[in-house]
Amino acid sequence: MRRLVTSEAAFAAGFAALLADRDTVQDVGVPVAAIIAEVRAHGDAALIALTERFDHVTLTAERLRLSAEEIDAAVAAVPERLHAALDLAARRIEAFHRAQMPHDLRLEDAAGVTLGLRWTALDAVGLYVPGGKAAYPSSVLMNAIPARVAGVGRVAMCVPAPGGALNPLVLAAARRAGVSEIYRIGGAQAVAALAFGTATVAPVDRIVGPGNAYVAEAKRQVFGRVGIDSIAGPSEVVVLADAANDPRRVAVDLLAQAEHDEAAQSILITDDATFADAVADAVAAELPTLPRAAIAGASWRDHGAVIVVRDWHEAAGLVDRLAPEHLQIMVAEPEHLFGRIRHAGAAFLGAFTPEAVGDYVAGPNHVLPTGRTARFASGLSVYDFLKRTTWVAADAAALARIGPAAVALAEAEGLGAHARSVALRLGSGGAA
């Protein structure tokens, strides 16, 4: 764990190293390209072979997709209290995303030209849900519900089943979110199948959802053929906390990110050096009690940091440079401090709003920009499942007012047919 103090001479170099930490990317481009090529060439047969190789599951083309009976059985195995929790989360996520839905635009300008913008949903979306180290039913809700709210007609879900095991809660979340097309395939091969299609898996228009380095690289390589949400990296949180907070609560908040993955990053920024030490001690005391202590410990050791600042103005500047995926603000006036920060994927204000509540039931999406991309990117929303089409309508009188300028510009660019296309419609009554 790094300990940095802004008043010390070594801070600039230490902070630069902290920023560089997020620039480390596992290079899997070559093997991912080979997997994609294999799926494109051999379709279902490649999916079957790759699933056996990576997940140690022997499938047939008929078993790539889960049957309704398999989904029913999994849903029935989920305790009622977890169904109730899923339902609460789903209702809150749906309500927040429904409030995001934009409206079409239509206006007539001073020249008499009618201008418009129309929103339409994508036809088909592919949802990738991680397996492996952890299964995330919450990710199913966060990805599928906005797509449904936006009006996407088809949502196809891929989830790996290492050793043949599927988490029933993941399938229950899919059922609650309205997803019935589910495939037991994962990795880069699942992304390739969604992008290019096979005999069993019809192609989609956009692929969303987090995954490992192979999944992220596969999404990068198929972008252009399909849309993607983002190239997601390891999870991260920055916690701004003053000494009025309970050190143990802050420590657990940091560890809540660290337990995601060994490459996750948790950073505390505080204006009190004694409190910084108390939180670090609390982390050390809490770590051995966690079910994922080895993962959280590696993350905290290799990527964690505690930064002591002179004041909160200085802290706000550091947050903007870090541009974190998650930002917790635990100070006396959190909304005021948040107003001075420009770059964060999602913010959680106050001592009773831990980031973990945002992962599940707050309502806003938990699929967020990582690796400092919050400088230019946003979290998942209904806009990821909609597209805009602009339109224009002009009569002869309106074209007469704006057309000559178009002719002049087209001629200046040397595009004669462009100029003539407009000029032929100008003049007496617009006769061609």
State the DSSP H helix or E strand holding residue 150, giving kind and residue range, or none if neither: helix 137-150
Q: Can 326 be counted among the known catalytic residues?
A: yes
- At residue 203's C-alpha, the angle toward residues 57 and 386, to 5°, is 125
State the DSSP H helix or E strand holding residue 393, giving kind and residue range, or none if neither: strand 386-393
Contacts of 184 (CB under 8 A, 6+ apart): 51, 57, 59, 63, 64, 65, 66, 159, 160, 161, 166
Paired tokens of 410: 């087209």
Using alpha carbons, select from 157, 159, 158, 153 the residue that is nearest to residue 124: 153
In eight-state DSSP terms, residue 166 is -
Contacts of 133 (CB under 8 A, 6+ apart): 261, 295
Report yes or no: 234 and 265 within 8 Å, Cβ to Cβ. yes
Q: Mapping DSSP to helix (H, G, I), strand (E, B) and coil, where does residue 135 land? A: coil
Paired tokens of 58: 């022997």
Considering the candidates 97, 260, 326, 343, report the single residue annotated as catalytic.
326
Q: Mapping DSSP to helix (H, G, I), strand (E, B) and coil, where does residue 395 land? A: coil
Considering the candidates 217, 325, 343, 366, report the single residue annotated as catalytic.
325
Phi-psi domain of 300 (left: phi exceeds 0; alpha: psi -120 through 50; beta: other): alpha
Paired tokens of 268: 């505390």
417: exposed, middle or buried (Cβ count in 10 Å: 0-12, 13-18, 19+)? exposed
State the first-to-last Cα distance of the chain, in angstroms, to the nearest integer. 75
Using alpha carbons, select from 310, 326, 299 the residue that is nearest to residue 239: 326
In eight-state DSSP terms, residue 65 is B
Q: Mapping DSSP to helix (H, G, I), strand (E, B) and coil, where does residue 26 land? A: coil
Q: Can 83 be counted among the known catalytic residues?
A: no
Report yes or no: 141 and 177 within 8 Å, Cβ to Cβ. yes
Q: Which residues are catalytic?
A: 325-326
